[in-house]
Amino acid sequence: MNKKSIVSMAIVMGSTAALFLAIYILQYYQSRFAQNLFSLSPDTAISIVAEKQNLTNYNTSDYSVRYVYIKGNGTVFSSDLGSKSIGEQIGTAEPTIGRGSYFAWEVKSQKYNSTYYVEGTTGNIVSKSG
């Protein structure tokens, strides 16, 4: 082989390796950080619950909101939105829709004596208690 073809093959192999590395890095960051980009805000979770309760006028201060992990059997665990870590058991609710497990907003209303669990990305109500 001559020197020109060796240099050409090295350029092609280097470009291919760089492309694979770029794709890997993009997939890593997308899977790691995109979940937080599409998470519902606590205020959005409250508005979903207020709509479910057929309320047109409501005060967000009537609700308390925290991020939790709820298992299919209704067992509720503390959770952290940023890391998606699952902490200790903090309560129970009705079994979830389809018995799946979810990261969700626990929207609790003392005024209406109800607690709803709003899935953290889709906004679906997956369980309730009270």
Residues 59, 32: one domain?
no
Residues 8, 23: one domain?
yes
Residues 72, 121: one domain?
yes
pLDDT of residue 33: 61
pLDDT of residue 47: 93
105 torsion bin: left (phi>0), alpha (psi -120 to 50), beta (else): beta
Residues 81, 114: one domain?
yes
pLDDT of residue 68: 96
Residues 48, 87: one domain?
yes
Rounded distance between C-alpha atoms, residue 57 and residue 100, angstroms: 32
Indicate the average pLDDT of the chain. Answer: 88
Residues 56, 113: one domain?
yes
Q: Name the one residue in this structure whose structure tokens are 């909101």.
A: 65
pLDDT at 23 over 60: yes
Question: pLDDT for 26-61, tens place per residue?
Answer: 877 766 665 555 688 999 999 999 998 888 888 888
Mean pLDDT along residues 2-14: 86
Residues 81, 95: one domain?
yes
Residues 56, 112: one domain?
yes
Total domains in the chain come to 2
What range does the domain containing 23 cover?
1-37
Does 106 or 60 have the greater pLDDT score? 106
> pTM for this structure?
0.71
